[in-house]
């Protein structure tokens, strides 16, 4: 039976070491009645959803759904600081995130899984740091943890699904989808996939000393990108992306996505230690709420 728990401070780190952030279409991770439900009070307001803590692949895992359980939180309104602070306060040091992405390149066709390795941030106006009043620079050349990426690549290779071990994701503001011209521009800039939520989620995790790995599922071909005649012919049957199309394809792929996440969780070493991309003392200060970060305005996480 699920328990409602409210916590306002850090929980013993022996409880939970791994977090899973579910993207669009992934709203439950554990079988009903097998997880504890926790509401974490954060200095930044409410999380997108309560956090479920249960067992996956023999490990204690904290699960949070990025858009809320009813998919009610728009991408530009997600309270990423609250989400990451809450997970870290429970002891999480490794996050496996799932994302629905559009494909900007023919090698990243709908139905393909991608272990993302690079980002291009095109968002604006989002609360993207815990260090509002302190000068603290994040080393971010390689956004995703290399140890976790190797683990994920090895795990997904065993599943026999269409798969790319690397990919650059262009993160746009949303909630609207791209124009055809924007799709072409982003592909020419080096993008392979497109998404609305990877930033500031990934850098915020890094500021708190959490390593991240992202498993993306390509649901569509974005705006029907087809810059060559050959690609135009191949894409003739592919409709430009709609929300309904994304959700339909995610629903069909849900079982495989959950299985893939379980495979990654199972392969994370018990002695995993994330990289230190900001000084550990700075991360500890952020967790303690000592960085001067302002609380979000009313409604920022709803």
Under the banding of pLDDT at 50, 70 and 90, the label for residue 247 is confident
Annotated catalytic residue, options 36, 39, 220, 270 = 220
CA angle 39, 43, 46 (to 5 degrees): 40
Residue the block writes with tokens 């991770």: 29
In a domain, 283, yes or no: no
- Domain containing residue 271: CATH number: 3.40.50.1580
Res. 128: pLDDT tops 50: yes
For residue 299, pLDDT over 60 is answered with no
Asked if 41 is an active-site residue, the reply is no
Closest C-alpha among 96, 90, 102 to residue 9: 90
* pLDDT at 176 (0 to 100): 92
- For residue 302, give the nearest of 8, 79, 28, 70 by alpha carbon: 79
Which of 29-38, 135-144, 232-241, 248-257 has maximum average pLDDT? 135-144
* Phi, psi torsion values for 85, nearest 5 degrees: -60, -45
Q: Which residues contact 147 (CB under 8 A, 6 or more apart)?
A: 211, 269, 272
**Residue 290, domain member (yes or no):** no
In the residue annotation, 222 being an active-site residue is answered as: yes
Phi, psi of 40 (to 5 degrees): -100, 125
CA angle 73–77–79, rounded 5-degree value: 90
Please give the mean pLDDT across all residues of the chain.
85
Taking only the tens place, the pLDDT of each residue in 5-37 is 444 444 444 468 999 998 777 767 887 778 899
Residue 296 lies in a domain: no
Tell me how far apart the alpha carbons of residues 26 and 266 are, in angstroms, rounded to a whole number: 19
How do beta strands 4-7 and 18-22 pair? unpaired
Whole-number pLDDT of residue 240: 67
**Residue 43 located in a structural domain:** yes
pTM of the model: 0.86
- The answer to whether position 56 is within a domain reads yes
Total domain count, the chain: 1
**Rg (the chain; Cα; Å):** 18
Whether 175 is in a domain gets the answer yes
Q: How many CB atoms lie within 10 A of CB 274?
A: 19
| CB of 278 closer than 8 Å to CB of 33 | no
The answer to whether residue 299 sits within a structural domain is no
Q: How confident is the model at residue 232 (pLDDT cuts 50, 70, 90)?
A: low
What do you get for the CA distance between the two ends of the chain, in Å?
Answer: 27
Q: Is 6 inside any structural domain? A: no
Range of the domain at 185: 13-129+139-276
Question: How many DSSP H helices and E strands does the chain contain?
Answer: 7, 12
| Distance from C-alpha of 265 to C-alpha of 31, rounded to nearest angstrom | 16
pLDDT in tens, 56-81: 988 999 999 998 787 778 999 999 99
Q: At residue 4, does pLDDT exceed 50?
A: no
Q: Which residue has the higher pLDDT, 149 or 72?
A: 149
The two three-digit tokens of residue 109, written as one number: 């066709």
Three-class DSSP category at 265: helix
Distance, C-alpha 21 to centroid of its chain? 6
The catalytically annotated residue of 117, 121, 145, 222 is: 222
In the chain, helix, strand, coil percent, each to 5? 25, 20, 50
Apex 234 CA angle, 168 and 229, nearest 5: 90
């Amino acid at each position: 039976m699920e328990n409602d728990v409210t916590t306002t401070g850090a929980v013993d780190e022996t409880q939970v070491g791994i977090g899973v952030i579910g993207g669009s279409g992934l709203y439950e991770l554990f079988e009903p009645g097998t997880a504890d439900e926790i509401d974490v009070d954060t200095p930044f307001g409410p999380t997108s959803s309560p956090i479920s803590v249960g067992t996956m692949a023999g490990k204690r895992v904290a699960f949070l759904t990025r858009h809320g359980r009813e998919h009610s939180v728009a991408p530009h309104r997600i309270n990423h600081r609250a989400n990451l602070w809450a997970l870290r306060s429970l002891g999480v040091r490794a996050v496996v995130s799932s994302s629905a992405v559009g494909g900007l390149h023919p090698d990243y066709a709908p139905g393909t899984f991608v272990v993302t390795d690079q980002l291009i941030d095109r968002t604006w106006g989002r609360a993207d740091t815990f260090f509002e009043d302190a000068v603290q620079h994040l080393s971010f050349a390689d956004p995703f943890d290399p140890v976790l990426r190797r683990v994920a690549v090895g795990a997904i290779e065993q599943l026999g699904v269409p798969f790319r071990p690397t990919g650059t994701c262009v993160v746009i503001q949303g909630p609207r989808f791209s124009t055809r011209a924007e799709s072409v521009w982003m592909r020419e800039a080096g993008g392979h996939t497109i998404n609305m939520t990877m930033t500031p989620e990934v850098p915020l995790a890094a500021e708190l000393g959490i390593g991240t790995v992202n498993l993306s599922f390509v649901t569509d071909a974005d705006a029907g990108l087809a810059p060559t005649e050959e690609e135009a012919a191949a894409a003739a049957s592919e409709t430009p992306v709609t929300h309904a199309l994304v959700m339909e394809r995610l629903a069909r792929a849900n079982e495989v996505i959950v299985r893939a996440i379980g495979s990654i969780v199972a392969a994370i070493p018990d002695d995993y230690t994330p990289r230190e991309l900001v000084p550990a003392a700075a991360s500890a200060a952020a967790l303690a709420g000592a960085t001067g970060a302002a609380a979000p305005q009313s409604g920022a996480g709803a």
